Amino acid sequence: IKTLLLTKKGERVMQPNFGSGLQELLFDFNDDLLSTKIEETITTALETWLPYIVVQQINVQQSNDNKDKNTVGISVSFNVRNNPDLNTVSFKIG
Protein backbone atom coordinates (compact mmCIF):
# COMPACT_ATOMS: atom_id res chain seq x y z
CA ILE A 1 0.00 0.00 0.00
CA LYS A 2 2.77 2.40 0.94
CA THR A 3 4.57 1.71 -2.35
CA LEU A 4 1.42 2.36 -4.35
CA LEU A 5 0.62 5.58 -2.51
CA LEU A 6 4.14 7.01 -2.73
CA THR A 7 4.63 6.15 -6.41
CA LYS A 8 4.12 9.00 -8.88
CA LYS A 9 1.92 8.27 -11.88
CA GLY A 10 4.21 7.68 -14.85
CA GLU A 11 7.11 6.61 -12.65
CA ARG A 12 6.68 2.85 -13.09
CA VAL A 13 7.97 1.43 -16.37
CA MET A 14 5.31 -0.22 -18.56
CA GLN A 15 2.53 0.87 -16.18
CA PRO A 16 2.23 4.64 -16.60
CA ASN A 17 -1.07 4.84 -14.69
CA PHE A 18 0.25 3.01 -11.61
CA GLY A 19 0.50 5.26 -8.57
CA SER A 20 -1.70 7.46 -6.46
CA GLY A 21 -1.17 11.07 -7.46
CA LEU A 22 -0.33 12.16 -3.91
CA GLN A 23 2.85 13.78 -5.22
CA GLU A 24 0.72 16.12 -7.33
CA LEU A 25 -0.83 17.48 -4.13
CA LEU A 26 2.53 18.44 -2.57
CA PHE A 27 2.29 22.08 -3.59
CA ASP A 28 -1.41 22.61 -2.81
CA PHE A 29 -2.29 24.94 0.02
CA ASN A 30 -2.22 23.24 3.41
CA ASP A 31 -5.85 24.08 4.16
CA ASP A 32 -8.98 22.13 5.11
CA LEU A 33 -9.56 21.06 1.49
CA LEU A 34 -6.16 19.37 1.29
CA SER A 35 -7.24 16.71 3.75
CA THR A 36 -10.28 15.85 1.63
CA LYS A 37 -8.21 15.77 -1.58
CA ILE A 38 -5.69 13.40 0.04
CA GLU A 39 -8.43 11.06 1.27
CA GLU A 40 -10.08 10.98 -2.18
CA THR A 41 -6.74 10.37 -3.91
CA ILE A 42 -5.90 7.47 -1.58
CA THR A 43 -9.36 5.93 -1.91
CA THR A 44 -9.28 6.10 -5.71
CA ALA A 45 -5.80 4.56 -5.95
CA LEU A 46 -6.66 1.70 -3.59
CA GLU A 47 -9.95 0.95 -5.35
CA THR A 48 -8.16 0.91 -8.71
CA TRP A 49 -5.02 -1.06 -7.90
CA LEU A 50 -5.81 -3.00 -4.71
CA PRO A 51 -9.55 -3.77 -4.84
CA TYR A 52 -9.17 -6.51 -2.20
CA ILE A 53 -8.27 -3.88 0.43
CA VAL A 54 -11.12 -2.55 2.57
CA VAL A 55 -10.25 0.88 3.99
CA GLN A 56 -11.58 1.38 7.50
CA GLN A 57 -10.17 4.84 8.15
CA ILE A 58 -7.89 7.44 6.60
CA ASN A 59 -6.38 9.89 9.05
CA VAL A 60 -4.69 13.01 7.67
CA GLN A 61 -2.74 15.09 10.19
CA GLN A 62 -1.87 18.56 9.05
CA SER A 63 0.78 20.26 11.14
CA ASN A 64 0.24 23.74 12.55
CA ASP A 65 3.81 23.83 13.87
CA ASN A 66 5.97 26.34 11.98
CA LYS A 67 8.84 23.86 11.89
CA ASP A 68 6.77 21.12 10.19
CA LYS A 69 4.03 23.17 8.51
CA ASN A 70 4.89 21.69 5.11
CA THR A 71 4.48 18.10 6.28
CA VAL A 72 1.31 16.04 6.31
CA GLY A 73 1.07 12.77 8.22
CA ILE A 74 -1.14 10.07 6.74
CA SER A 75 -2.38 6.89 8.39
CA VAL A 76 -4.51 4.31 6.58
CA SER A 77 -6.28 1.61 8.60
CA PHE A 78 -7.46 -1.30 6.49
CA ASN A 79 -8.09 -4.99 6.32
CA VAL A 80 -7.90 -7.48 3.51
CA ARG A 81 -11.24 -8.74 2.23
CA ASN A 82 -12.35 -11.89 4.10
CA ASN A 83 -9.76 -11.24 6.82
CA PRO A 84 -10.94 -9.34 9.90
CA ASP A 85 -7.42 -8.41 11.12
CA LEU A 86 -6.97 -4.65 11.08
CA ASN A 87 -3.70 -3.27 9.73
CA THR A 88 -2.36 0.27 9.61
CA VAL A 89 0.25 1.91 7.43
CA SER A 90 1.54 5.40 8.29
CA PHE A 91 3.83 7.80 6.45
CA LYS A 92 4.55 11.49 5.91
CA ILE A 93 4.65 13.50 2.74
CA GLY A 94 6.06 16.93 2.33
At 63-73, the pLDDT tens digits run 766 566 677 88
| pTM, full prediction | 0.82
| 27: pLDDT strictly greater than 80 | no
Backbone dihedral region for residue 2 (phi beyond 0: left; psi -120 to 50: alpha; all else: beta): alpha
For 74-87, what is each residue's pLDDT tens digit?
899 999 988 888 88
Q: What angle do CA 32, 71, 59 make, to 5 degrees?
A: 55
Give the Cα separation of 53 and 55 in Å (integer): 6
| 41: pLDDT strictly greater than 70 | yes
Give the Cα separation of 56 and 64 in Å (integer): 26
